[in-house]
Amino acid sequence: MAKDRIVIIDGNSLVNRAFYALPPFVTKDGQYTNGIYGFVTMLLKVMEDYQPQYIGVAFDLKAPTFRHKEYGDYKAGRKKMPSELSQQIQPLKEVLDALNIFRIEAEGYEADDLIGTLAKHCEREGMEVLIVTGDKDALQLVSQQVKVLITRKGISSLDIYDDVKLMEDYEVTPLQFIDLKALMGDKSDNIPGVPGVGEKTAIKLLKQFGTTENLIQHTDEISAAKLKEKVEGNIENIILSKRLATIITDIPVEIKLDDLKKEEPNYDELLTLFRRFEFNSLISRFTKNEGAETDEGEGNTGLETVSSDQFYEIGSIEELKTFIKKVRESEYLAIKTVSEEKNITTDEIVAIAMAADANEVYYLDFRMMDDKSAVLQLLKEVLEDDETKIIGHDIKKELVHFAPHQIEIRNVSFDTFIGEYLIDPAKSSYNVKELGVVYLNKNIVDEEELLGKGKSRKTLKELEKEDLRKLLSQQVNVTFNLVPRIKEKLHELELEDLYYKVELPLTEVLASMEVAGIKVDQHMLKDLEIQFRDMVSQLTEDIYRLAGVEFNINSPKQLGEVLFDKLELPPIKKTKTGYSTNAEVLEKLREKHEIIPKILEYRTIAKLKSTYVDGLLGIINPVTERIHSSFNQTVTTTGRISSTEPNLQNIPVRLELGRQLRKVFVAKEGHKFIDADYSQIELRVLAHISGDENLLDAFEKGQDIHTRTASEIFGVEVHEVTSSMRSSAKAVNFGIVYGISDFGLGENLKISRAQAKKYIDRYLEKYSSVKAYMENIVQEGKHKGYVVTLLNRRRYLPELLSKNFNIRSFGERMAMNTPIQGSAADIIKIAMINVHRMLKEEGLKAKLILQVHDELIVETPLDEMEKVSQIIEMGMENAMKLKVQLKADLSQGDNWYEAK
């Protein structure tokens, strides 16, 4: 008969480890949660891996213990727990209570003593004991029945110790482990030990004498004179240290094992807490086995499971017509498609799930339909009917999937994906499953679990028919039901205008851009590939010659050894694994040795080659000979659009080689690119928001803003401003926009921090309303918990309330910058909508194909150049009414390089 197993968790140790292992997680209300989240995920993993029948978590209490009373300096000097962690302890205990996991606490004793007492009690009861901790002190408790699981690599994995493993690693028994600490001492607990005696020496002594008591009795047998002197001079310390290091295993507490039995969680309390902490990914992991069967044949979750009884499969044209009649009656149609995505011009739709109301879902598998063209024609009629209000989750995908079939979705009524992004722009995921849990208390099948991971990961179209049907149908059902909830939230947060006038219509624009793509000159790209390969090869030879040795230039470890050991350059920064060789370090060493510029150039060329040249060659569509990038509107917290596969916004245009890459992006035959770039849009937004008279005056007079700023901060006439002064002023102007510090500006301009501070102070003195804006917006952010753009886009900034200076400073910079950068992002989106709409209304063939930051590119037939230029200028300069006029600079060319 298998032994009962108990897991005992060192609560303080594990939450401390989780806090430092994970980046700061902060809710919109300013609650730090990384410690709680890390603790819970490790707890779940341990419970899943070891299936204990009993479980408990031990915590220290604030009251002093017997160790503090015996030795006043016990744990003296230990850093106070940071407030970002201390505020998580009580909420963590609430989570444990909701999980029905027993908490073990007692005044006057440390968690170690409670763990030791409980472990030995359970050992005597014949149970298997697993202690989970990050503190190696617990190794003194190991035995054949007691194992200690030590966290390593943050909280992702564990080292498992029993008495055999302890002897292998430390060459001591569990009881000798106490003696080991008595001799070595412990800096973290301020246990003195014997100064100058480390682990190797302590183990050597214990091998000879067995225990510290025997050692004290036979110090005359210590052969090394200095060591003998150290031990004899610290006998009292050894005795004290052993008492302090010994975990008490018989404290007078009543142990009721029934209290530690693993029980079902209190689901209502747990879901409430997880929603409060925004742990959406954890909510549906807890199951409540009440005997009710779901359609998956598993125990019912603590959430309502979407029933499969309301799903109907369409198997004929007549059944499709019957469903479309329901759509006409309701006016609403929620859809979700899966496509083969062979290429952008011949996408074959595999399956589609549809709903005309909140209760029934209809599923159509194209692979089972004989007359696919008839199906598409019927869908075309309903999707292109202006009366049909289309609902979806990430509806851009449907717009792209239907485009190759010449089907245009006319009336996108609601996209839950975009809605949730506006409500909470800092989330990493907006999947339907999580939203169903949070808003509806509904649980659906998990897409990620169905698809799997790694090399065996499937695509949606590769799912078993039944899995695909269930997945799409449940997603559509939840999406339909989410709409009123998310609408209500958008109304509550006053985000409706931003949603309906900007973000929702933008999906059509982005889908059009993805379908259009941008043409690539493959011959030129292959020439660049050869050129870059030769440059990398030559730079490699140069670096080897200067280093006097061949090594892996891409290995930070080997590069560090060459630079700092062999060439004896001054090390700037060290990491846990050795010397740092990041770009910041190398820039500081640039003048120290001629190898450094070569390494920096090598890295630049190698990255350009691998990321862009090789990368672009691998994703050119074989049919269109174009690259079809994906444009994302739900990634950045400021509202900026990003692009992936490839990221066309990250081409390093400050470098001539990076700019050369733009030559490979070419207009198709009979066309040119019109490139339109907003002129200093963020500074114009700053002038509008701050109302600063000097800034407004400069723009109204059409002055060069950087020259005007240089004149102000250097105290010279405008005509006396040098190019160097203008460059410095430009750095100040944009630095102010991004909330730069004097340290950051000094680094950028390679001047002293004091000089940089003078520049900033002079700027704020001349532009006093900008200074007032910066101060006021930070205070507003602290008061409200968020800041907004001109169109009310929110960014939550719990960092503003942090007691950590660096985190708080980051929050302040974001508070200053977000209304400016976010408003600029809103303006460019409106401009894109304007240009796309006007081109369409005028029946022109020109297409908006690319957006990069404040720049738009329109591929234009030669006979439409003049008309399209007028449309672009009008669409961009009238995007929003500001106190200063928006200005767009237009240029044209046969490729992106020429047009820019």
Q: What angle do CA 479, 484, 485 make, to 5 degrees?
A: 85
Cα 326 to the chain's mean position, in Å?
A: 42
Q: What percent of the chain has pLDDT over 90?
A: 48
Indicate whether 58 and 108 sit together in one domain: yes
Helix 83-98 to helix 34-50 angle (10° resolution) is: 40
pLDDT of residue 140: 87
Q: Residue 475: is its pLDDT beyond 60?
A: yes
Domain limits for position 459: 307-516
- pLDDT tens readout for residues 632-676: 999 888 899 998 888 888 777 777 877 888 999 999 999 999 999
* Helix residue ranges, H only, 299-445: 317-330, 372-383, 396-402, 416-423, 432-435
Contact assessment for residue 161 and residue 129, using Cβ atoms and an 8 Å cutoff:
no
User: Within a 13 Å sphere around the CA of 91, how many CA atoms are in the beta-carbon half?
Assistant: 21
Residue of higher predicted confidence among 453 and 105: 105
Q: Residue 754: is its pLDDT beyond 60?
A: yes
Residue 869, domain member (yes or no): no
Average pLDDT over residues 141-145: 91
CATH number of residue 271's parent domain: 3.40.50.1010
Tell me 64's DSSP state.
-
Q: Domain boundary residue among 805, 821, 837? A: 821
- pLDDT tens readout for residues 374-416: 999 999 999 999 999 999 999 999 999 999 999 999 999 999 9
pLDDT of residue 245: 81
pLDDT of residue 220: 80
Sorted by sequence, the CB contacts under 8 Å of residue 545 that are 6+ apart come out as: none
Most confident option among 425-429, 458-462, 492-496: 492-496
Contact assessment for residue 749 and residue 756, using Cβ atoms and an 8 Å cutoff:
yes
Q: Which amino acid is at 193?
A: G
pLDDT of residue 511: 96
Residue 701, domain member (yes or no): yes
pLDDT of residue 146: 92
d(CA 868, CA 844): 8
Indicate whether 164 and 181 sit together in one domain: no
Indicate whether 716 and 799 sit together in one domain: yes
d(CA 439, CA 488): 11
Q: Domain boundary residue among 766, 796, 821? A: 821
Least confident residue range of 281-285, 314-318, 490-494: 281-285
Residue 634, domain member (yes or no): no
Residue 877, domain member (yes or no): no
Indicate whether 354 and 466 sit together in one domain: yes
Indicate whether 447 and 575 sit together in one domain: no
pLDDT of residue 666: 96
pLDDT of residue 325: 94
Average pLDDT over residues 732-744: 81
pLDDT of residue 667: 96
- pLDDT tens readout for residues 598-617: 999 999 899 888 888 888 88
- pLDDT tens readout for residues 527-565: 999 999 999 999 999 999 999 999 999 998 899 889 888
Indicate whether 368 and 481 sit together in one domain: yes
Residue 739, domain member (yes or no): yes
Residue 742, domain member (yes or no): yes
Q: Residue 296: is its pLDDT beyond 50?
A: no
In angstroms, the Cα distances linking 613 to 382, 525, 526, 608 are 43, 6, 8, 7
Q: Domain boundary residue among 770, 793, 821? A: 821
Indicate whether 609 and 719 sit together in one domain: no
Q: Residue 740: is its pLDDT beyond 90?
A: no
- pLDDT tens readout for residues 512-526: 999 999 999 999 999
Q: Residue 342: is its pLDDT beyond 70?
A: no
Q: Residue 708: is its pLDDT beyond 80?
A: yes
Q: 3-class SS at 371? A: coil
Q: What percent of the chain has pLDDT over 70?
A: 94
Place of tokens 């944009």: 734
Q: Which two tokens stand for residue 220?
A: 């005359």
Residue 237, domain member (yes or no): yes
Radius of gyration of the chain (CA): 33
d(CA 510, CA 822): 18
pLDDT of residue 284: 66
Q: 3-class SS at 304? A: strand
Q: Residue 303: is its pLDDT beyond 70?
A: no
pLDDT of residue 64: 67
d(CA 205, CA 197): 10
How would residue 286 be classed by pLDDT, with cut points 50, 70 and 90?
low
CATH number of residue 523's parent domain: 1.20.1060.10
Indicate whether 226 and 373 sit together in one domain: no
Strand duo 855-861 + 671-678: pairing? antiparallel
DSSP assignment string, 832-849: HHHHHHHHHHTT---EEE
CATH number of residue 815's parent domain: 1.10.150.20
d(CA 199, CA 184): 6
d(CA 814, CA 765): 22
Indicate whether 261 and 144 sit together in one domain: yes
How many distinct structural domains can be found in the chain? 5
Q: What angle do CA 549, 552, 556 make, to 5 degrees?
A: 110
CATH number of residue 406's parent domain: 3.30.420.10
How would residue 68 be classed by pLDDT, with cut points 50, 70 and 90?
low
How would residue 295 be classed by pLDDT, with cut points 50, 70 and 90?
very low
Q: Which two tokens stand for residue 475?
A: 């997603």
Sorted by sequence, the CB contacts under 8 Å of residue 515 that are 6+ apart come out as: 344, 400, 403, 404, 628
- pLDDT tens readout for residues 242-284: 887 888 888 888 888 899 999 989 888 998 899 899 887 787 6
Sign of torsion over alpha carbons 507, 508, 512, 513: negative
CA nearest neighbour of 41 among 289, 299, 298, 281:
281
DSSP assignment string, 617-665: HTT--TTT-EE--EEESSS-TT---EEESS-GGG--TTSHHHHHHGGGE
- pLDDT tens readout for residues 790-842: 999 999 998 888 878 888 888 999 999 999 999 999 999 999 999 999 999 99
Indicate whether 124 and 23 sit together in one domain: yes
How would residue 299 be classed by pLDDT, with cut points 50, 70 and 90?
very low
Residue 285, domain member (yes or no): no
pLDDT of residue 287: 46
Q: What angle do CA 589, 590, 595 make, to 5 degrees?
A: 100
Strand duo 311-314 + 361-365: pairing? parallel
Indicate whether 179 and 268 sit together in one domain: no
Indicate whether 79 and 179 sit together in one domain: no
Contact assessment for residue 596 and residue 539, using Cβ atoms and an 8 Å cutoff:
no
Give the global pTM: 0.82
Average pLDDT taken over every residue of the chain: 87
pLDDT of residue 74: 64
pLDDT of residue 201: 84
pLDDT of residue 231: 78
